[in-house]
Amino acid sequence: MKCLVINLDRSPDRLAHMTAEFARIGLGFERVAAIDARDRPDLALQRQHARYAVRRLSGCEIACLHSHRACWAIIAQDEAPYGAVFEDDMVFSAKAGTLLADTSWIPADADVVKLETFFHTTVIQRERFPVGGGFSLFRLRKNHIGTGGYLLSRQMARALLETTADVNVAVDNLIFDPTFAISTGKTIYQLVPALCAQDQFVGNRLPSLLEQGREAEWVASGLANGHRIRALARIRREASRAARQITDLCRLRRQIVVPLAPVEAND
């Protein structure tokens, strides 16, 4: 299974970080040059999904999608049934190498397996599928943001490419939000505990370039009140949270903040 790492040409420090991380878990990887929003001012003018009518995607978010599309194209054309995609600020569990070196643990029906945690509350099916090494898979039933680390099938890669051929979508919404049509009928698993997480949650050495770029674009365009829009969205989400919890219990689902497996090897 190919491990693809998205990395901007202007971020050699992050490439060095990922080189060290993969060396630590005993695996190699293939670098995929990220699309740089600084070089593509046209990106923000491209067609966007209707759900972004209020708060349009920034050029950085669209560049992120195009960078992931470059990875999907590689997976779609590869002979291997699965490929893994990582952003360049990930920190791996000590056991990550064992799982990433093998694909026999991946269920035959898996379209996507989310490998990372964003430490946000999400919802998973209660049914557990042990995969060894203390890890288990659960069907993901709610959006779990972040696309720092995931694997997907060759068929899913092709479907994602087709879906985004002429419209832009935030990449984590596209893959992990059940309200998107692409997720309907797809089998999406969450690995628990997670195999990786962004460094900002673990070592706090590598800030999110996407967040930085998005903030800068909002300020420059006078849309800094996007924070206000997001705050209102949070309030609406909290207002309906109790009802969702009851529904989830009735559907044999449970809420979880996915933990990260230990980064350091146990003696």
CB atoms within 10 A of CB 161: 14
Number of domains in the chain: 1
* Structure letter (DSSP) for residue 115: -
Domain membership flag for residue 266:
no
C-alpha–C-alpha distance, residues 142 and 246, integer Å: 14
Kindly tell me the sign of the dihedral angle through the C-alpha atoms of 176, 254, 117, 121: positive
Q: How do residues 92-139 score in pLDDT, each as one tens digit?
A: 999 999 999 999 999 999 999 999 999 999 999 999 999 999 999 999
Q: How much is the pLDDT for 237?
A: 46
pTM: 0.84
Domain extent for 54: 2-257
- Across the range 178-190, mean pLDDT stands at 81
Task: Give long-range contacts, CB 8 A cutoff, 24+ apart: 54-59.
Answer: 54/229, 55/223, 55/226, 55/229, 55/230, 57/168, 57/169, 57/170, 58/213, 58/214, 58/217, 58/218, 59/213, 59/217
Domain membership flag for residue 139:
yes
User: What CATH number has the domain bearing residue 238?
Assistant: 3.90.550
Domain membership flag for residue 262:
no
Domain membership flag for residue 267:
no
Domain membership flag for residue 222:
yes
Lowest mean pLDDT among 10-14, 146-150, 174-178, 247-251: 247-251
76 Cβ contact list (under 8 Å, min separation 6) = 154, 157, 158, 161
Q: Which residue, 25, 44, 75, 73, is CA-closest to 168?
A: 44
Domain membership flag for residue 150:
yes
Domain membership flag for residue 233:
yes
- Please, what is the average pLDDT of the chain? 85
